[in-house]
Structure formats: C-alpha cells, structure tokens
Structure 1
Amino acid sequence: MYTQCPECLTVYKLEAELLVHACGCVRCSHCDVVFNALGTLAEQLPPEPFTRLAEHALDREPPTAEVAVFRPRPAAEVASDGLEASPLVEDDIADAETGEDFSQLTFTPRFAKRKRRSWHTAAWASVCTVLILGLGAQLAWAKRDVLIADATIGPILETGCAMIGCHLPLVSDPSRLRLLARDVEQHPSVTDGLLITASVRNDASFAQPYPVVTIVLSDASGRRLAMRRFQPEDYVGDASARSRGLASGVTTAMVFEVQDPGQRAVAFAFSFE
C-alpha cells in the first residue's frame, strides 16, 4: 500500500501493521509532519508522472462488516446450583436474540486450501517420466545378454516377445553346450576325406547361436597333425535355422567334412567358441 505526505508530497510504501500503532497516523521522515495515512491510502500507484494521490474522505459513515467467518464461544459460566451451564444452549439463545444463524458456517484454515497444479508441473512430470523410461531402456539394452541369460528374467522376456511378435537376440555361452556323442568314418564319396559327426545339446535356459567348432586331429603321442575351425555356415546350410539358433534343451547333429591327414591320425577333439 502507498500513502502521500500532504506537506512535502513524498510518497511512502507502507505495510498494514504500521498503521495499527497510531490509528493510521504516521510521521513523514522528510518534513517531520504527522498526518493520517488513510487519507491517501492506495493499493497501486497511478501512472507516472503524477503529483498527488487521490484523497479519501475520512468523515463518512463507517461501513458495515457483513461477511462473518468466525465468532469465539463465550466462556462457560457456573450456574447458581454449582453446575456448569451448557454453552450450546447459550449460543442458541444468543443467535435467536441477534437473528443470525451460524449453524452452517464453516471455517477453513489457509493451509488447508489446495493449490491447483499448473500445466507446467504436469508437463515437467511427463518429461521426467519419459527420460527415466528412456534411461531404463538404454540400460536394459546394454545389459541384454545378462538379462536374457538370467534364469528368472529370461523366460519372462521370451514370453513377452512371443506375445508382441518380436525375437530376442541370441546369447552365446559355449560352456553350456554339451558334446553327447562323436564319430569319425571314411567319407563315402571322397577318397581322401573323413566324415566327422557330433551330437550336441544346449543345456542353457535360452537359445544360443550355432558355435564356431574347432576340430583337432592328433597322433598317438598327442602331437597335433591338423586343425580346422568351422563357422556356422560351414556346417548349417539353412540360413533360417542359423538365425533361430540352438533352442534351450535341444539336441542337434553336426556333420563335418575334413581331409584325411593319413594313418597317423588316431585321435580327434572338439571345442566350441
């Protein structure tokens, strides 16, 4: 609120509490004149330039305060017989005498009022949610091999992908491939060729890509005579089968064609990469 000294026309900014002490009278700090601040009290200043604030007449009839929000109950009085009089009966009598009904009056504290959330708050919350979901998706993609290989999370992801029609990437774990049987024999159509067959089972709880198979032929003393590494396309001709990989718990037969290193080759070994 603002007020103006009537002598030097200095405009001051005031708080309501300052007007209580002297019933609206204040002292000008410039010319030391005491004046009634209520005479030119204004909530906002007029547009500049201005000389005087609008003056208010202070001799009018006081306005009536009509909107009541609270009235304290009177203290309980002791009746002549020593019993306390009921304050509820006294309030009803007082209301009947004054003709006012406060039965429907409610009092709401200022702190109980709910503040409306602006669209800025909702937009900021939505942006934060999207960023958190994006970060979670990036972390899940970075750790996809660990999640797919997990015995608990992997089947859940596989079921979810089957429902929406997607395919989980294959996770390689050669340590869970078990060689069940192997055999070597003379190639039926190639004179100096050998035909090596192996039966392999995927003991993992998830599908694996076909491994890189290394076959080593050695003599009786364990000296290596020949070695070859077979890529999946060397022993699996079906491209769709290669893309599906080895399903969990499935046993497959692998057939390899190698050149016969001679009579000295008496042992062979498999390894998976």
Structure 2
Amino acid sequence: MYTQCNHCNAIFRVTMKELTAAQGLLRCGECDNIFDAMKNLSQTLPEERRFAQKLVKMAPVEIQEPTTIEHTTPKSKRLPQDLKHKLSNARYFISIIVGILALLLLLQVLYSNRHWLAQQPITSPIIRQLCTLVDCDITPYRDIRKIRLLSRNVYSHPNTPKVLTISASIQNEATFPQPYPLIEISFLDKNNKVLALRRFPPEEYLQNSKGKLMSTGIPDELLLNITDPGDEAIRFQFRFM
C-alpha cells in the first residue's frame, strides 16, 4: 500500500502493520511533518497525479514518537542524469574561474609590492626570478648604513678661483651591491652653523651612473667641486642620503 504526505506530497510505501502500530499517524522522512496516513491510503502508486483523498474519520490520539518510514521517491522528483552532469560541470568550471581570479589577484599584489618584497631575505629570490621572466623593474635593495667614508680631503681648485675640490673614498661594506648614495657636503663655522651646503647625486660624481651599483668591498674614489664658502668655514662634513 502507498500513502502520501499532505505537506510535501512525498510518497511512501507502508504496511497495515506499520499503520496499526502508529495508529495511522506517520512522520514524513522528507519534511518531518506528522500526517494522517489513512487519508491518502491507496493500493496503487500514483502516476504524476495526486492521491484521491479518502476521508477516514479517526478519533484523535496522543502519540509519543510517530514512526518514520522509508521514503520512496517518485520519478517526478528525481533529477535527470544529464541535468546532474551539467550541474557537476558547471561547478567544475566555476571552481576553475575562481582559482584563476585568485591567482590574478595574487600576482597583482606581488607586482604592486615587488620593490618591498625584493628587499626581504625570504621573498627576494622568488620576486627577482619572477621579474626576470616578465621583465619588470625592481628597485635595488639599499642600506646607507653600510656605506663607509674611508678618507676625505679638501683643497683649492688648481684652475678655478673660489672653488674647492673635495677628494673622497667611499666603500660599500654590505653583502650585496647597492645604488650609489646622494652625497651631502656641508661647511660649518666655529659655532657649527652651516655656511654652505650642496648635494651631489650619483650622475654628478660618476660616469655612466645610470643603473650602476656599488660593488661590495671595493673603494670608489670621488672628486667633488664646491664653491668656496670663505674663511669662516673651518670644517666640512659628509652625509649619505
């Protein structure tokens, strides 16, 4: 025999023994609704139609736990195999698209932060290799604290009056090549007041300085010219920037 849930129309196969034990009240395995199985009881399985309701008047009963019976899914509720296949393919392609978008987002983040990542010991090799493959520029890592002033001297320019020539030797003591610094030279009086100041970018004290890096452990000899600040200047100092 068959009966049907009056809430979700799910169809169930039942026996008279089960109905008698449950006093006609069953719990739907689909929607968890408690219904009177006797009202829609039939000897045959419906073919895409609803059961004709049979009015069976029964006295109300108090039950503790209605019997949950095995659910027989009608053909009309089953998804066709080709539809299941299409849904599976759709989920597969959506997963691929999401993965591609996540990869593009990661690459964008890496590209935007490539200069900072290239200066970190852990990520530097990977970022530099990636930039070599895609031909992107990276600002070289620099540490001004590792540039040392080995010697310095100042004297009057031999051919130009009121111009001083400063000779200096600087060296990169870092473990990596780095860009040449901006050199600031200032002249001070006896009260440490700055009388003259000039900053020299690499292109002013190097030949073919574009893209050139300071080698490690090799001194660089420099000659810098600056206007003579006068007799009040008693000392000068270097600063790397």
TM-score interval, normalised by the smaller of the two chains: 0.5 to 0.7
User: Paired residue for 2:48, among 34, 44, 47?
Assistant: 44
Identity score, percent: 29
Change in 2 beyond 3 A, CA 1:3/1:147: closer
Residue 19 of structure 2 corresponds to residue 15 of structure 1: no
- Equivalent residue for 1:226? 196
- Equivalent residue for 1:133? 103
What's the CA shift for 1:155? 4.4
Mapped to 1, the partners of 2:200 and 2:9 lie a distance apart of: 91
2:115–2:138 Cα contact (<8 Å) kept: no
Mapped to 1, the partners of 2:116 and 2:207 lie a distance apart of: 29
Mapped to 1, the partners of 2:49 and 2:191 lie a distance apart of: 108
**Aligned counterparts, 1:77-226, within 5 A:** 118-158=88-128, 161-162=131-132, 167-226=137-196
- Equivalent residue for 1:90? none
1:174–1:272 Cα contact (<8 Å) kept: yes
Letter in 1 for 2:222: M
Mapped to 2, the partners of 1:36 and 1:261 lie a distance apart of: 114
Change in 2 beyond 3 A, CA 1:253/1:152: farther
1:120 aligns to what SS in structure 2?
helix
Letter in 1 for 2:230: G
1:148–1:154 Cα contact (<8 Å) kept: yes
User: Paired residue for 1:267, among 215, 231, 235?
Assistant: 235
Residue 199 of structure 2 corresponds to residue 254 of structure 1: no
Mapped to 2, the partners of 1:185 and 1:171 lie a distance apart of: 35
What's the CA shift for 1:215? 0.4
**Large movers: runs of 4+ above 6 Å:** 33-36
Mapped to 2, the partners of 1:199 and 1:136 lie a distance apart of: 44
Q: Which runs of 5+ in 2 are unaligned?
A: 25-37, 53-83
Mapped to 1, the partners of 2:115 and 2:217 lie a distance apart of: 19
What does the per-residue CA deviation read over 1:176-216, in whole Å, with 9 as the maximum and x for residues that have no partner?
A: 32222222222232122111132222334444333222101
Mapped to 2, the partners of 1:164 and 1:144 lie a distance apart of: 12
Mapped to 1, the partners of 2:216 and 2:117 lie a distance apart of: 16
**What TM-score does the superposition give when structure 2 sets the normalisation length?**
0.58
Change in 2 beyond 3 A, CA 1:148/1:34: closer
Q: Figure out how many residues of one structure are paired with residues of the other and give that number.
A: 191
Mapped to 1, the partners of 2:134 and 2:210 lie a distance apart of: 22
What's the CA shift for 1:127? 2.8
2:48 aligns to what SS in structure 1?
coil
Query: Which protein has the larger Cα radius of gyration, Structure 1 or Structure 2?
Result: 1
**What TM-score does the superposition give when structure 1 sets the normalisation length?**
0.53
2:114–2:138 Cα contact (<8 Å) kept: no
Letter in 2 for 1:192: K
- RMSD over aligned Cα atoms: 4.2
| Higher RCO structure, 1 or 2 (CA under 8 Å, sep 6+) | 2
What's the CA shift for 1:21? 3.0
Change in 2 beyond 3 A, CA 1:14/1:257: closer
What's the CA shift for 1:272? 1.5
1:129 aligns to what SS in structure 2?
helix
Higher strand share: 2
